[in-house]
Amino acid sequence: MFDSNNPQRTPISELGEFGLIDHLVKNSKSKLMNTALAIGDDAGLIDQGAYFTAITTDLLVEGVHFDLSYMPLKHLGYKSIVVNLSDIYAMNGTAEHITVGIAVSNRFSVEALEEIYEGINLACERYNVDLIGGDTTSSTSGLMISITATGRVEKGKATMRSGAKDNDLIVVSGDIGGAYMGLQILEREKEVFIENPDMQPELGGHEYILERQLKPEARKDIVELLHNLKVHPTSMIDISDGLSSEIIHLSKASKHQFNVYENKIPIDPSIYTLCEEFNMNTTTVALNGGEDYELLFTVPIEDHVKIKANPNLSVIGYVKEGSGANLITREDNLIELQAKGFKHNL
């Protein structure tokens, strides 16, 4: 038993999610010759000779990562797959296989599990991946889903977080902040329901951002688009923990300075209205919201002509020699970005 009065006892919250990972794996050393890339990126890479196998895993826990009072089980199954496949695409790879581990308490029925697997199977069909195994066990504390995804990355095309170079452009797919604002609406309506169960939730007109939260999509299409445009990103990451955190990840891994323009961050018009309604700063939501599962990447400046007219892509900044990550405000001030991205309870 741990002694709670032990002065050596360090609260997990003191390290944070990323600090905890770094602390736990600091003594892990690769021993096998075919381990091409270990901990520290969106996925690990195993050298298969002609190609790499990419492997990633993610754990979703009830009450931490999802709330079943407003998350439909079918959507949960779908989302659990998507968030893993997104990591494969962030390596510039093609997702191929998944395994599913589920721990479930006795308050869930067979029919409930069937709903989860309906969503899982729908995602497998949508992204052309095969479910090849897993595990099911009991739980005394609700529902937990662990997904492992594998994929193929061609030699010479793997994109890590560490490849950004001086004068590269910083690019983001889609728009940012919708998933977080969708969560705000769901949480608000949950509170209303708790106070008055007879009240019907007011969700009309918010379909887009609710889908961004409840049923996100991994950007397989962006990987295919870049391939067709003959654009090879120099670094890439998916936006799960917030734009600010992911920019800092790329900056640290690439050992270069990243500068992002506030007025270039793509934000859906509906977000501005909702931020006023919730008394939130739009830029703060876009930088720190999380769970958008868009792709953030860098490309050589020479490739600007290939991407500049594409509505799915936005150039939001540039890379230069140095260190750190900054926001260039609308007033042309330079503000250091902080890793205040979306954090689940630790």
DSSP secondary structure, 8-34, as one string: T---HHHHHHHHHHHHHHTT----STT
Statement: residue 5 has pLDDT above 70: no
Predicted local distance difference test score (pLDDT) of residue 46? 96
CB 289 within 8 A of CB 180: yes
Report how far Cα 111 is from the mean position of its chain's Cα atoms.
29
Residues 173, 219 contacting (CB under 8 angstroms): yes
User: Among residues 330, 177, 334, 328, which one has the least CA distance to residue 266?
Assistant: 177
pLDDT score of 342: 47
In 62-197, where do the E strands start and end?
94-104, 130-138, 144-154, 169-173
What average pLDDT score do residues 41-61 get?
A: 95
Domains of the chain with bracketed CATH: 16-154 (3.30.1330.10), 169-336 (3.90.650.10)
Residues whose CB falls within 8 Å of the CB of residue 51, separated by 6 or more in sequence, listed in order: 152, 153, 154, 155
Q: Examine the pLDDT at 165 and tell me if it is beyond 80.
A: yes
pLDDT at 199: 74
Query: Residue 345 pLDDT more than 50?
Result: no
pLDDT over 60 (residue 103): yes
pLDDT at 3 over 60: no
In the structure encoding, which two tokens stand for residue 339, read together?
A: 């890793």
Residue 52 has pLDDT above 70, yes or no: yes
Going by their DSSP bridges, the two strands 334-336 and 325-328 should be labelled as antiparallel
| C-alpha to C-alpha distances, 52 to 6, 34, 49, 83, 118, nearest whole angstrom | 45, 9, 7, 20, 30
- Nearest one of 91, 94, 95, 339 to 235, comparing CA atoms: 91
Average pLDDT, the chain: 92
The confidence score (pLDDT) of residue 21 equals: 63
The answer to whether 90 and 238 are in contact (CB under 8 A) is yes
Helices 207-214 and 269-277 pack at an angle, to 10 degrees, of 90
> Whole-model pTM above 0.85?
yes
